[in-house]
């Protein structure tokens, strides 16, 4: 079935919508909300809202295997997740993001705790945060949110971890306030704040040309990661405390 074709005299709806200013890099963490146990059929699950991005992750396992313990990751965009058509590069981009997700999570999980077992981690983007007047979707921001959401799902599944892997956005404006408008691309970074380690750095589009620039990015990232970690840690503690009180009442 052919798609509906507008007449040549039609005016794009984007011209009637007030353009949203692209905000410069800020050190503050965007509004965040998360919930655990959203999928009762999975061993662990989490739902995360990070700014305008809405994302969900399910963890299944461990499944017994003949080889050593391993993680299998998948990163998918729901058909309704974006205002922008992404059919042309969907498969290739999802494969690349799945591999980056694995790179970010694998160092944080104690694989020796489930020998000959496999955990399957499935991340689904429900809303990539785009609006009608956006022409480009930031897949890096979705990846950053997906890393944090997957970490929450692993925690809910009871997987033993060295530290929480936190996904963050990195923008060139953090390096140079005089950077051109065309340099507003976003890259993603994953860190373990308590161990002070970087697990994944997808900085191809950043254009970092000096060690000082890289140092600035890392210092800013760990500062924001500690803030996110404190929020997650405090919420998880409250959830655990509430569940413990419920068990006490049952006894």
Answer whether residue 124 is part of any domain: yes
Give the residue carrying structure tokens 């694995």: 102
Q: Outline where the chain has alpha helix (H).
A: 90-105, 139-156, 211-250
Answer whether residue 6 is part of any domain: no
Report the pLDDT value the prediction gives residue 133, as an integer from 0 to 100: 55
Phi, psi at 37, each rounded to 5°: 70, 35
Answer whether residue 215 is part of any domain: yes
Report the pLDDT value the prediction gives residue 53, as an integer from 0 to 100: 93
Identify the CA nearest to 51 among candidates 158, 125, 136. Answer: 125
Task: Report the CATH number that the domain containing residue 187 is assigned in CATH.
Answer: 3.30.230.70
Answer whether residue 155 is part of any domain: yes
Report the pLDDT value the prediction gives residue 24, as an integer from 0 to 100: 40
State which residues form the domain around 233. 25-246
Ranges of residues in the chain with a pLDDT under 50 are: 1-3, 20-27, 135, 174, 177-184
pTM over 0.95: no
Phi, psi at 201, each rounded to 5°: -140, 105
Task: Round to whole Å and give the CA distance between 150 and 164.
Answer: 10
**What is the domain count for the chain?**
1
Report the pLDDT value the prediction gives residue 177, as an integer from 0 to 100: 46
Answer whether residue 1 is part of any domain: no
Answer whether residue 19 is part of any domain: no
* Structure tokens, 58: 């399910």
Answer whether residue 214 is part of any domain: yes
Report the pLDDT value the prediction gives residue 176, as an integer from 0 to 100: 52
Overall residue count recorded for the chain in this entry: 251
Q: What angle do CA 231, 237, 240 make, to 5 degrees?
A: 140
Answer whether residue 178 is part of any domain: yes
């Amino acid at each position: 079935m052919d798609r509906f074709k507008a007449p040549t005299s039609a005016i794009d709806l984007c011209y009637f919508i007030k353009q949203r200013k692209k905000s410069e890099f800020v050190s503050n963490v965007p509004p965040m909300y998360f919930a655990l146990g959203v999928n009762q059929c999975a061993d662990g699950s989490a739902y995360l809202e990070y700014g305008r991005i809405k994302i969900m992750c399910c963890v299944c396992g461990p499944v017994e295997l003949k080889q050593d313990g391993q993680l299998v990751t998948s990163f998918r965009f729901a058909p309704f997740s974006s205002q922008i058509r992404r059919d042309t590069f969907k498969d290739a981009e999802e494969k690349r993001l799945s591999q980056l997700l694995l790179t970010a999570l694998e160092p944080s999980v104690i694989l020796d705790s489930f020998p000959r077992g496999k955990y399957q981690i499935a991340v689904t983007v429900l809303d990539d945060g785009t609006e009608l007047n956006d022409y480009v979707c930031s897949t890096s921001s979705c990846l950053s949110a997906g890393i944090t959401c997957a970490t929450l799902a692993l925690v809910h599944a009871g997987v033993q971890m060295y530290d929480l892997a936190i996904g963050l956005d990195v923008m060139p404006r953090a390096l140079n306030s005089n950077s051109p408008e065309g340099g507003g691309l976003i890259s993603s970074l994953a860190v373990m704040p308590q161990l002070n380690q970087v697990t994944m750095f997808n900085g191809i589009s950043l254009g970092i040309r000096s060690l000082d620039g890289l140092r600035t990015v890392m210092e800013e990232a760990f500062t924001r990661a500690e803030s996110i970690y404190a929020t997650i840690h405090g919420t998880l503690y409250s959830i655990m405390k509430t569940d413990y009180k419920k068990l006490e009442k049952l006894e």
